[in-house]
Every structure is written in structure tokens, then in C-alpha cells.
Amino acid sequence: MSHVLAAVAWPYANGPRHIGHVSGFGVPSDVFSRYMRMAGHDVLMVSGTDEHGTPIQVQADAEGVTARELADRYNRVIVEDLHGLGLSYDLFTRTTTRNHYAVVQELFTALERNGYIVKRTTLGARSPSTGRTLPDRYIEGTCPICGYDSARGDQCDNCGNQLDPEQLINPRSKINGETPEFVETEHFFLDLPAFAEAIGNWLDQRENWRPNVLKFSRNLLDDLQPRAITRDLEWGVPIPLDGWRDRNDKRIYVWFDAVIGYLSASIEWARRSGEPEAWRKWWSADGDGKDALGYYFMGKDNIVFHSVIWPALLLGYSGEGDKGGDPGELGRLNLPTEVVSSEFLTMEGKKFSSSRRVVIYVRDFLERYDADALRYFIAVAGPESNDTDFTWAEFVRRNNDELVAGWGNLVNRSISLAAKNFGAIPAVSELTPEDEALLAVARTGFATVGELIGKHRQKAAIGEAMKVVAEANKYLSDQAPWKLKSEEQKPRQGTVLAVALQVVSDANTLLTPFLPHSAQKVFELLGGEGVHAPMPSIEQVDDLDGGPSYPVLTGDYTIGARWESVPLVAGTPLAAPKPVFRKLEPSVIEEELARLAG
Ligand SMILES: [Zn+2]
């Protein structure tokens, strides 16, 4: 038994999630966590909404609401989306909690004390008429790289390059059009080069990472530069230093605070559990948590934050960069065990884009289709190791041909036949080699499928589980228990159905991490009682330190099925089953494509 941290990328709270967002890391991290719990590990799965930074402030300004109001709105929407998908977070929180602020400031303070945060003078923009600082987002001008004439002071939306406002050609204030003046201003920078050696040593010891992630991360080390961790902005975590903490125009940069969320969410979870120090079992590099494993799930555009920057923060906090130092009051902290990055999902051949309406939001999807239909598609055809395309035609085909005609049909016909002929799970009389062979295939699946999920090869894993399903369907066709009707054939009919039902039960357990909603139903169809696949719930909680209340996603996942074959008990009553999966009409494809075309 290990302590396993599942650290899932933080969705940015500026809009609802589309299926591209959840297919890369949302669903895969849940599959992994569910499997690890079933296999007996103590899993802590945490994340939350990332709510600071310029884009949320800009959008809030445009809508005439406060940044906090905008973040509140989308925090709730995202919590509901993830709940609808059945993602089993131990805690899904947010970055605007007081607990998060305190943890971010503790890391900042210790890094500064250890010498890894340096002050630098840079050029900042000021309004000549008011004398006020002009945040980067309020400055517009021509991009020096691509010539786009409405580039923002922090980024060009045309070429995607990060900019500093003083690089803009013909800069102007978006508030009143005047030309800003650039004056010297102070900001704090993280001394990333001081961690190059320590991170390099750590990367050298990594095993099992996807090779592209490791290579990409190593290359980043060749050109590490100090990175700004504060910004001219009023929306964010205040800088915890004398002379700075009360300033309204300087905040900690959103990337610095968001990545610390993994730690602050773990601490919040522990405080809410009544055991405030329990987070150490997943984090402490010296005490309880020194053998813990930490898996980080994200899209490939976020690798740098998890394989270089977050390790740098953890090393600096623990006093383990070039400048040494002492650990902060939380003690030495564990670095990630593995950075599990996914590739991108496109939609009908195009990049997802809310503004161009190339999108399907999770909530719209779940209004029309079942969560497990999407979870199945993501598992078998998601962007695990290649960019992949979501098409409605493929979604309908996989749902109908594989989920409904393969797995659903096996469940339905085996339980129907047993219910009709026996009214209960029949007894086994004598097993033939064919029976033994099928039972063995299902039993072997636990090792095969489990090992693949543990290695983040979920596509192969569900493929193995579906092979068991295919074998069982073939067995039923070969044995044709519906023909074994005479009195002397009855014991054989019972045996065949009992074998088939046992394999249904085993296959259902193998599929539980992927398809938890339907796994609960199949479990109940087989006469099971209680929780087979635990589900998250949304709870409105008080901020632990006096801030406003907010919704979290949480649950008790210690209950439910284990990763093993559980012998069915002959005589357990069975009723005629309702279909577990819904067949989709081909007309769905045209309807959805028409919606996309707007
Ligand atoms: Zn540009």
C-alpha cells in the first residue's frame, strides 16, 4: 500500500469546460485514481479552479462585474461539470480561499529567505494624466514580432508570444487612448538558474516518463532564465513582504500561485478531514510521506510548470537549490514522481475554440448523452499519446458498436437468460475446459489491465478489458445456453450462465475505473447491494479561515469494489435487466454537426 497523490491540472475559471479540457487530464486522472484505490492504495486526488490573473480581470471588466464575481460564477459551473462526469476528487477547491493565500505566501516567504527570490527593476507603464500604474492588460499596441496592431501588453493574441508592454510599437492606454510613460518599477523574480543542476539530477532519476516529456523538460534546463513572479495587477495573492503586502497594485503572478494549489488543496483537505497534519503522508519528504508517490496530470502545454517550475519551488522551499537554505515550516517536500501529460483533442478536425464555436461544453454534452459514453470515448480514442480528433460519427459508432453491442449486449443477454430460466444466479454443476478457459481470461485481466492503468496506458488497458467482453460474447454464442432447454440439459444451461455471469461481474470490475456510473448499475443488476463505484458530491463549505463560503467536490471513496474477482453467490435473485447503455440514432451526427455550424 502506498500513499498516492493524484495532482490534477487546475482549470482556469473564465468559462465552462469543453470536452477537450476534460479528455486530456480530467477523466484519465479519475481512471487512475479509481484504479489505485481499488488496488488498495491510499489516494489523495486534488485540484480546484485557478482564479487569478489577467484574463479573468479583463473578462470581468468587459462584463462589468468584479473578478471575484466572475470567478465565483465559473467555479460553480466547473464544479458541476466535473461532478457530472463522476470525477472522484477528494477535494476540488479553488485558489481564492484564505488557506491557499496563506500557503502561497509561506512558499514565497521561505523561497525569499533562502535567497531564491530576487528583486529586479523593470520598466512599468504609468498613465501621464492620472499618475496611476497601468496594468499590462490595459496597454495595447503593435506586436514587435508579427505586426498585429492590437497586441496586449502581456501577450499578442495573434502570434501567441508573451510580451512586455515596453516592447509594443505605438503603445496606448486602453482606458483613454493616451500614450503611457514607462517608469522603473520593482518586481520579484524566481532565480530558476539556481535550480538547473538539482532539477537535472532529479530528471536523471525519473523512470517510466513518456520520453517526449523527459526530453522536452531536459531541453528547458539549457536556457533557464529568472522568471517574474509578481505583476502589476490588483487581482491576486498579495506579496507577503514588509512594504509590499499592503500595496494594491502588485500581486503574485497567477502561474506561481496556481501551481502551489496542489499543496494548498492537500492541506485544506487534511484540515477538513479533522486530521490537519494528514497531508504530510503525501508530501513530507522526511516523515510519513517519504515513500509517497505523486502523479501530475495535465495537457502538454503545461509540462514546463510541472517538470521544471514546480520542482524548482519545492526544491527552493526545501533548501535544495544552488544557494542551499533551510526548509520552511512545512518541512522538506516531495517532488513529483511522474508528470503525465496528454496531447490535444481536436473537434471535427479543428482546434477547440469557444469564440469560433468549435466546441461542445461538458454540460451540453451531459444533457444529451451519458457520462460513461463520453468516458468510454476518451478512454479508447482520447489524446493519450497523440493528438486525436473527436468526431460525432466516431462517437456514435463507438457507442453503438462497442459499448452497446459489445458490453451492453453481454450484460443484457446473460442476465436476461438467467433471470428468465432460473430467476437467480444459477449453480455450477461441472466445469468444462471452455468454461475454465473463459474464467481464466477474466481472472488474468486483473493483472493485465491493472498494470497498464498503473503505467498510464489507459487505451491499452480498456482494450484488454474489452477483450474479456469479446471472449465472453463468443463463449455465449458458442455455448448457446438458450438451446439447452430439456430437463437433462438444465444443469449445463445453469453452468454456462453462471460462468457468463461471473465473467460479466469480473469484466464489470475491470471496467469500473473507466465506466463508474454503469458499473454501479451492472453490479446492482447482478444482485449486488450498496456502493460499488463511489461518486463525488458537491458540498457548500465555509472557508476555513473566515472567507466567503464556496462549493467543493469531495466524497468518501474508501468504500466500493476492490480490484479482484468476487465469486457470485448461486441463488442470488435476478430480475430482467433494463438496458445499461443507450443506442444513439445516426441522426445524432447531423444534428450535432448542424449545431457546430451554428
Ligand atoms: Zn504578434
Q: For residue 159, say whether it is annotated as part of any ligand binding site.
A: yes
To the nearest whole percent, how much of the chain has pLDDT over 90? 83
Q: For residue 129, say whether it is annotated as part of any ligand binding site.
A: no
Which grid cell is 392?
460525432
> Residue 128 Cα, ligand 1 centroid: separation in angstroms?
26
Whole-number average pLDDT of the chain: 94
Q: For residue 156, say whether it is annotated as part of any ligand binding site.
A: yes
Residue 233: what pLDDT?
A: 83
CA 58 to chain centre: 26
Q: Which range, of 154-158, 180-184, 582-586, averages the lowest pLDDT?
A: 154-158
Q: For residue 23, say whether it is annotated as part of any ligand binding site.
A: no
pLDDT in tens, 302-325: 999 999 999 999 999 999 999 999
pLDDT band at 112; cut points 50, 70, 90:
very high
Which residue did the predictor score with more confidence, 231 or 572? Answer: 572
Q: Which residues pair with 512 in a beta bridge?
A: none
Listed residues: CB within 5 A of ion ligand 1:
143, 145-146, 148, 156, 158-159
- Using CA atoms of 428, 432, 433, 435 in order, give the dihedral in degrees to the nearest 10: -40
pLDDT greater than 90 at residue 484: yes
Q: Provide long-range contacts, Cβ within 8 A and 24+ apart, for 303-306.
A: 303/213, 303/216, 303/217, 303/339, 303/341, 304/217, 304/220, 305/255, 305/259, 306/259, 306/336, 306/339, 306/341
- What Cα–Cα distance (Å) separates residue 579 from each residue in 235, 506, 539? 50, 19, 31
pLDDT greater than 80 at residue 362: yes
User: How far is the C-alpha of 409 from the C-alpha of 473, rounded, in Å?
Assistant: 8
Q: Across 180-292, where does the E strand assignment appear?
A: 181-190, 227-228, 230-232, 250-252
pLDDT greater than 90 at residue 251: yes
Across the range 398-402, mean pLDDT stands at 97
In degrees and rounded to multiples of 5, residue 176 shows phi and psi of: -135, 10
Q: Which range, of 50-59, 313-322, 413-422, 483-492, averages the lowest pLDDT?
A: 50-59
> Residue 406 Cα, ligand 1 centroid: separation in angstroms?
50
Residue 130: what pLDDT?
A: 74
Residue 206: what pLDDT?
A: 92
> Residue 140 Cα, ligand 1 centroid: separation in angstroms?
12
pLDDT band at 157; cut points 50, 70, 90:
confident
- What Cα–Cα distance (Å) separates residue 152 from each residue in 57, 58, 143, 251, 348? 14, 11, 8, 19, 31
To the nearest whole percent, how much of the chain has pLDDT over 70? 100
> Residue 170 Cα, ligand 1 centroid: separation in angstroms?
14
> Residue 150 Cα, ligand 1 centroid: separation in angstroms?
9
Q: In one letter, which amino acid is 134?
A: L
pLDDT greater than 80 at residue 133: no
Q: For residue 537, say whether it is annotated as part of any ligand binding site.
A: no
- Using CA atoms of 5, 11, 16, 17 in order, give the dihedral in degrees to the nearest 10: -60
Across the range 390-405, mean pLDDT stands at 97
> Residue 233 Cα, ligand 1 centroid: separation in angstroms?
22
> Residue 257 Cα, ligand 1 centroid: separation in angstroms?
27
Across the range 251-276, mean pLDDT stands at 96
pLDDT greater than 80 at residue 355: no
pLDDT greater than 80 at residue 135: no
Residue 327: what pLDDT?
A: 97
pLDDT in tens, 522-560: 999 999 999 999 999 999 999 999 999 999 999 999 999
Across the range 122-144, mean pLDDT stands at 84
pLDDT greater than 90 at residue 92: yes
Which grid cell is 180?
503611457
pLDDT band at 174; cut points 50, 70, 90:
confident
> Residue 350 Cα, ligand 1 centroid: separation in angstroms?
22
Residue 596: what pLDDT?
A: 87
Across the range 470-499, mean pLDDT stands at 97
pLDDT band at 211; cut points 50, 70, 90:
confident
pLDDT greater than 90 at residue 48: yes
- What Cα–Cα distance (Å) separates residue 518 from each residue in 184, 398, 404, 555? 60, 16, 12, 18
